[in-house]
Chains A and B, each alone.
Chain A
Amino acid sequence: MESLQYLSPTTQFVLFSALKILVVFGVVMTGVAYAVLVERKVSAWIQDRVGPNRTSPFFVDYIPVIGPFLVRLGIFQPMADGLKFMLKEDFTPSYVRKIYFWLAPAITVVPALMTVAVIPFGSTLGSEKMVIADLNVGILYTFGIVSLGVYGIVLAGYASNSKYPFLGGIRSSAQMISYEIAMGLSVVPIFLLTESLNLGDIVKYQADHGWMILKQPVAFVIFLIAAFAETNRLPFDLPESETELVGGYHTEYSSMKFALFFLGEYANMIASSAMMVTLFCGGWTLPGTLLSTPSSSLLVGLLHIGVFLSKMAVFMIVFIWVRWMLPRFRYDQLMDIGWRRFIPVALANILLTAVVVAL
């Protein structure tokens, strides 16, 4: 660490940013792989099955005692899944619009990964702030990037050039725009209270004044439900809805291109869990302990990151749990609750909070 002091501030900034980007990317990718495993295990338990419990690579024999246990938990399943996706035949139907067909999976994944850039996932490690980009308009950046995510699905539907994917694409564009409004309106009361758009400031406010989920429960409920719609998860997975649209927008996709849509969905779930933790559940802080203030000690810094990741895991499990418990909404019901319930309620919530703040 001594030699780092001789580097110019710019070089240090570039170096640390690159390091943080790499680490966060790695964590999100691992998170995606294991979220898929958790999804399969949780669905299995809910449906009274066992789930993946067979994948056992050759080195398991060398792990004493816990080796077979890990196999039963399916810890090695994501490796096999990844390998399967890469080795399957990448089939491109003859009738698709080639350029968009190739672009769409990438356009789905990139915004999902970019949203995590502004999220403060810890306090500090040494003197480095644990956020990739400490933007003053952090939350607006997130909404901007999230709103670009819809292009991947719309273009996939358009590029496939067949009717069910097309219907899926059209549905998703209407659904995501509708719920973006409700989502955007639901977080306005938070800014009225914290007087800042910076996510770090919002975490600090919650450390001093208590969590937002207690002060703004209505906003939290609207944000949570809108997050389900934005990530296309059940009960709002109408762009996919396999019982009526075959597989929706990704019907024509196979192999790694399909895996990218899959990855995008789970990365979106991770990003929205991280947003909910930051906005409503105090981010990396843990009230009542020494962990609610930034510290220069390396151990406390790591603990903060651990607290953040544990809170995120709770939200991920809620996402997965809900998927296997609730039936799908009908399309008109989806639009109806979006436009005629959530948006008016969110507006009323803004007005109420503004009056309280003004008083």
Chain B
Amino acid sequence: MPQFTDLLFFAFAGMALLFGFLTVANPVSRNPVTSAMFLVLTIISLAGLYLLLHAFFLAAVQVLVYAGAVMVLFLFVIMLLDIKEEERRRLKTFTVGVGSVAVAALLGILTVSALSAKPGSPAGQTRLAIGDTAELGKVLFNHWLLPFEILSVLLLVAMVGVILLSKKDLK
């Protein structure tokens, strides 16, 4: 008899795949707002999957940052653009090419890490697994310090870039 959590896993995974598909290739509507809303639902389904892995912190941050902030700004920008023109736009070969390369790279990373994980012993049997933020902080600032710092520098560069771009007449 399948466990209740297994059923939830299939529900969330199925929803993530379905909504993800509807985000990029909705057969009914090519409205960018609809795509953005389906992306929000995809993000929330992914947060559900994180919950099943007991990564409460990650799930909360996923909803807070991506669904609650990033996507609202997406929606904000989409609404200010000309939606009708966007609906008419066809796919470009270059965009499809770059997109495929990015997806292939991500798939490669995921496959490698999935294969290297030993079955039967889920990663992080520690207190990290129950979403303890103190443990998460320790791991981030000890084991993963360099990637963490590189990411923060990347975000800083992006912020400075955005300010520079939005102030074109900066002397």
A contact residues vs B (CB 8 Å cutoff): 100, 135-137, 140-141, 143-148, 150-151, 154-155, 158, 166, 169-170, 173-174, 176-177, 180, 195, 197
Question: Which residue of A is nearest B33, CB measured?
Answer: A158
Bound Cα distance from A197 to B79, whole angstroms? 36
B contact residues vs A (CB 8 Å cutoff): 33, 37, 40, 56-57, 60-61, 63-64, 67-69, 72-73, 75-76, 79-80, 130-134
Residues A136 and B131 in contact, CB atoms below 8 Å apart: yes
Please give, as numbers and ranges, the residues of chain A lying within 8 Å of B75 by CB-CB distance: 151, 154, 158, 173
Q: Nearest-CB distance from B36 to chain A (Å)?
A: 10
Q: Nearest-CB distance from B110 to chain A (Å)?
A: 25
A-B contact pairs, 22 of them (CB 8 A): A136-B132, A137-B131, A140-B60, A143-B60, A143-B64, A147-B69, A148-B63, A150-B68, A151-B37, A151-B40, A154-B75, A154-B79, A155-B37, A158-B33, A166-B79, A169-B79, A170-B76, A173-B73, A173-B76, A176-B72, A180-B69, A197-B133
Please give, as numbers and ranges, the residues of chain B lying within 8 Å of A144 by CB-CB distance: 60-61, 63-64, 67-68
Count A/B pairs, Cβ under 8 Å: 69
Please give, as numbers and ranges, the residues of chain B lying within 8 Å of A170 by CB-CB distance: 76, 79-80
Residues B67 and A148 in contact, CB atoms below 8 Å apart: yes
Residues A137 and B56 in contact, CB atoms below 8 Å apart: yes
Residues A177 and B56 in contact, CB atoms below 8 Å apart: no
Interface of B is mostly: helix
Residues A147 and B67 in contact, CB atoms below 8 Å apart: yes
Bound Cα distance from A144 to B64, whole angstroms? 4
Please give, as numbers and ranges, the residues of chain A lying within 8 Å of B72 by CB-CB distance: 147, 150-151, 154, 173, 176-177
Please give, as numbers and ranges, the residues of chain B lying within 8 Å of A147 by CB-CB distance: 63-64, 67-69, 72
Known interface pairs A137-B56, A140-B61; A174-B130 also in contact (CB < 8 Å):
no
Bound Cα distance from A150 to B37, whole angstroms? 13
Q: Nearest-CB distance from B156 to chain A (Å)?
A: 15
Residues A145 and B63 in contact, CB atoms below 8 Å apart: yes
Question: Which residue of A is nearest B67, CB measured?
Answer: A148
Bound Cα distance from A256 to B75, whole angstroms? 26
Residues B68 and A180 in contact, CB atoms below 8 Å apart: yes
Please give, as numbers and ranges, the residues of chain B lying within 8 Å of A176 by CB-CB distance: 72
Q: Nearest-CB distance from B99 to chain A (Å)?
A: 26
Which of B60, B76, B80, B132 is A141 in contact with, Cβ under 8 Å? B60
Question: Which residue of A is nearest B56, CB measured?
Answer: A137
Please give, as numbers and ranges, the residues of chain B lying within 8 Å of A155 by CB-CB distance: 37
Please give, as numbers and ranges, the residues of chain A lying within 8 Å of B69 by CB-CB distance: 147, 177, 180
Bound Cα distance from A48 to B40, whole angstroms? 47
Bound Cα distance from A21 to B57, whole angstroms? 23
Q: Which 9 A-B pairs have the closest CB atoms?
A: A147-B68, A140-B60, A144-B63, A144-B64, A137-B56, A173-B76, A137-B60, A144-B60, A173-B72
Bound Cα distance from A7 to B161, whole angstroms? 61
Bound Cα distance from A100 to B130, whole angstroms? 37
Known interface pairs A136-B132, A137-B131; A148-B80 also in contact (CB < 8 Å):
no
Bound Cα distance from A195 to B137, whole angstroms? 12
